[in-house]
Amino acid sequence: MLTRQLASSQAVAPINAVLEVLKDAGAETGYAVHMLRMLLATLIGTLLREVSAAPAFGSNDREGTLAASGLPALIEAAPHLARFDREAEFEYAVDLAITAVLHRIDLRRAR
Q: For 37-87, how does the pLDDT look when each residue is reduced to its tens digit (9 = 90+)?
A: 998 888 888 888 777 754 555 556 789 999 999 999 999 999 999 888 888
User: Rounded CA gap, 78 and 16, in Å?
Assistant: 42
For residue 111, which of 26, 34, 36, 6 has the smallest C-alpha distance?
26
pLDDT band at 95 (very low <50, low <70, confident <90, very high): very high
Length of the chain: 111
pLDDT attached to residue 111: 58
CA angle 13, 102, 86 (to 5 degrees): 75
SS3 state of residue 26: coil
Q: What is the pLDDT of residues 4-31, one digit of tens each?
A: 677 788 888 999 999 999 999 888 899 9
Provide the Cα torsion 78, 83, 57, 39; round to 10°.
-100
- Asked if residues 8 and 85 have their Cβ atoms less than 8 Å apart, the reply is no
pLDDT attached to residue 74: 93
For the cut 70, the answer to whether the pLDDT of residue 109 exceeds it is no
Q: How many CB atoms lie within 10 A of CB 39?
A: 18
